[in-house]
Amino acid sequence: MIISVASGKGGTGKTTVAVNLALALGDCQLLDCDVEEPNAQVFLKADIRAREPATVRVPEIDYQKCDFCGKCGDVCAYHALAVLPRKVLFFPQMCHSCGACEMLCPRKAIRETDRTIGEIETGDREGIRFVQGKLNVGETMAPPLIRQVKSRIEPNSVAILDAPPGTSCPMVTAVRGSDFCILVTEPTPFGMNDLHLAIETVKKLGIPYGVVVNRAEADDLKTRDYFKSNQIPLLLKIPLDRKIAELYSIGTPFIGPMPEYREKFRALFKTISETVRVSS
């Protein structure tokens, strides 16, 4: 079962939820797909066992064959190629590795080569198999690396995916194909607005979802009424608590020192499993 943890905006506590859920379950995978800013490892502190480069395929011009006809520049929908009278300019950050230029070059003057965009680390801690993608500074193409991280999802295992924040391509790439999506929010006007956008996104992807409210105030009737009137499933409330904030600030998952939350996260998983079972 694949459970993604997402949020309409950054800073809501999405990673905290993903890591605490993984630690509460024990035997599972945790995959950090927030490749532009991966920080699950700050809390998990897994033993990293392997590192390998993440690459994409990009074109390379063979100037022995190229006659500067301009066709590759014309077919590239992403403007990654510009053909000058005696040179073909290539802008690697704009290339989507679609392969069209190589396929359509009339002189077979293009071959594909690997370009490193980041790395993938794998490790473990307490039965949790950990995978994280790290995009190199300056790279803009998060989706190919996210797909490579997701390709490590083990069949017949519980996989928890820490998705990038927001509702753009990287978030959709991470969340797509999940059996369930946990949306993490905070009870502020900005938080609620971004939650609304995230809900619309997962609905379009046809993924069952539920919400975890982080930094919740005990007497927040407004949020409760909003969830009720919009039929938004509320999975768990994590209170605005000084102890949780202090543990967060030193990179400690709070289910360790606050074991009552271990049970709450296990109950959350049970609810999710039941929802997935009913909707599949």
Sites of contact with ligand SF4 (CB under 6 A): 59, 61, 66-72, 75-76, 78, 80-81, 83, 88, 95-101, 105, 107, 109-110
Q: Considering beta carbons, is residue 109 or 255 the nearer one to ligand SF4?
A: 109
Q: Are the C-beta atoms of 104 and 72 separated by less than 8 Å?
A: yes
Helices 260-279 and 14-25 pack at an angle, to 10 degrees, of 90
Nearest CA to 23 out of 254, 274, 267 is that of: 254
Q: Considering beta carbons, is residue 112 or 220 the nearer one to ligand SF4?
A: 112
- Phi, psi at 267, each rounded to 5°: -65, -40
Nearest CA to 43 out of 244, 254, 266, 185 is that of: 254
Q: Considering beta carbons, is residue 99 or 257 the nearer one to ligand SF4?
A: 99
Cα dihedral value 263, 265, 268, 269, nearest 10:
-100
- Min dist CB 10 to ligand SF4, Å, is 29
Q: Considering beta carbons, is residue 97 or 273 the nearer one to ligand SF4?
A: 97
Both ends of the chain: CA-CA distance in Å? Answer: 11
Q: Considering beta carbons, is residue 9 or 71 the nearer one to ligand SF4?
A: 71
- Min dist CB 142 to ligand SF4, Å, is 16
Total residue length of the chain: 280
The alpha helices in 26-110, defined as continuous H runs, are: 40-44, 71-75, 100-104
Q: Considering beta carbons, is residue 68 or 248 the nearer one to ligand SF4?
A: 68
- Min dist CB 38 to ligand SF4, Å, is 26
Give the span between the Cα atoms of 259 and 71, in whole angstroms: 63
- The CA-CA-CA angle for residues 135, 177, 197, to 5°, reads 80
- Min dist CB 89 to ligand SF4, Å, is 11
- Min dist CB 197 to ligand SF4, Å, is 28
- Min dist CB 58 to ligand SF4, Å, is 6
